Structure 1
């Protein structure tokens, strides 16, 4: 399975933590490997993030280093890293509906949503026509089982959360997302009109970064969602990335704030959307 830089970084952080546990115990890497019955290079590979430790590896570390109180937390951390990077082909092997449904528990328990997009209108803000055109393209490109209508309905049903007053949505779009054509001109005009209406909801903040904005300090980045303060989801070309490391979540939070500062809101944002609608006439 392919790896991402974030996953690799998480493995290196875990390895550093294990190295500190070993050093605190007074053992050398060679001594720990000998006691655990490992090849002498195994400790180095794990501590440098080149090898993902198994549950048994972590039990060995903590037992021989006198740190069994940390075993459960280390195992949970390692399992989270292993599950962070999920290839689309695995998630969609039974069709697109399952991929849509997989995020529902997370959405149900989240109260504060922050989203940035440089490619597409974000899911909860999409019309049925836009969703259908988008998922049809994904179905055809990835050659997944055809459950298009069911997948579309799951995404449409999820949009009820927008109208739950307990939840807040802050969205920042690059102006280019208004111009990337998904479906025909009629679909796009309808989508952007829908976006205008949603921007008037009291629990929705919509910002658009103009093409004319000075990007010297911060250029467009990958699309991402931040769920409360605990998780970030990133859609990559080949995979779905889940980030829960607090320092990484914080980095995305700060990046979102910086992108929001570049955006225009209110009447100027609506003017950019209206201009894009006019281009589809």
Structure 2
């Protein structure tokens, strides 16, 4: 399915209008539809008012209750998938303030308990040293002190033992010389130390051997409900269960190639030594 970034926001309103029109065409009230779908009338009202974006399961229940024809079901399902996808371009993020993006990520982290991070080319902010965090924003003009502070503040979530994290880093992500050698050694040391936390699994995929799959993007999956995928010019946020499932399956594949525990820490130690030398 092709997504046009300019149309993703509009699709939420279009979906709400379509479902409302279908209900009225059938000639039943929101209350009656809610009873047929085992939902509250308030939820139906919020969906039709575009205050709540329904999941694909919600929409399928509504379409079944309205006895929608198969050709219309396919159209509305496609619209639902678009409505559950969000494009966030980097230029808008910079205009509104980078700390706003940090607040959004903090919200995802507070509302989730199981996290999966696949890191293709860089270390994520949760694992980064202060030097690495500052360097990651240095190419953007302006004062980013608030965003930097928020990035570092977010790291406290790692010590919440009710939450469980799996980080998978390629060797490139761990070893890319983003900082001077001595600072990179400290960053690699931090990865090793964080891997000792009881609620964290940190895996390394070394460049060696045979791995017949090729990753294209860095991505994160929150529980089994949201996947965020990073590109050079922004990020896609997926909430459709099929999209999220695709990234969960991809993560499982890379997990099978990763080194964990003592094997990962031994490899990280070797890399830190190389930076120090």
TM-score range, shorter chain: 0.7 to 0.9
Partner of 1:19: none
Partner of 1:206: 202
Post-superposition Cα deviations, 1:45-84, rounded to whole Å, max 9, x if no partner, equal: xxxx9x9836434433443356874876575245972761
Indicate if the aligned counterparts of 2:118 and 2:219 stay in contact, CA closer than 8 A. Answer: yes
- Secondary structure of the 1:262 match is coil
- Secondary structure of the 2:214 match is coil
Indicate if the aligned counterparts of 1:7 and 1:81 stay in contact, CA closer than 8 A. Answer: no
Displacement over 2 Å in runs of 4+: 5-8, 51-83
TM-score w.r.t. the length of structure 1 is: 0.73
Distance 2:256 2:114 in 1: 18
Post-superposition Cα deviations, 1:198-219, rounded to whole Å, max 9, x if no partner, equal: 0111111011111014121x21
Indicate if the aligned counterparts of 1:175 and 1:272 stay in contact, CA closer than 8 A. Answer: no
Residue 116 of structure 1: how far off its partner (Å): 0.4
Alignment RMSD: 2.9
Partner of 2:264: 269
Cα gap change, 1:66 to 1:221, in 2 (>3 Å): farther
Tell me, which stretches of 5 or more residues in structure 2 are unaligned? 35-43, 55-79
Distance 1:190 1:55 in 2: 51
Tell me, which stretches of 5 or more residues in structure 1 are unaligned? 13-48, 141-145
Residue among 116, 122, 125 paired with 2:124: 122
Cα gap change, 1:264 to 1:97, in 2 (>3 Å): same
Distance 1:181 1:6 in 2: 35
Partner of 2:86: 84
- Secondary structure of the 1:187 match is helix
Partner of 1:132: 134
Partner of 1:148: 144
Post-superposition Cα deviations, 1:25-49, rounded to whole Å, max 9, x if no partner, equal: xxxxxxxxxxxxxxxxxxxxxxxx9
Distance 1:263 1:66 in 2: 56
Partner of 1:63: 24
TM-score w.r.t. the length of structure 2 is: 0.74
- Alignment size in residue pairs: 232
Cα gap change, 1:240 to 1:6, in 2 (>3 Å): farther
Indicate if the aligned counterparts of 2:84 and 2:240 stay in contact, CA closer than 8 A. Answer: no
Distance 2:181 2:196 in 1: 23
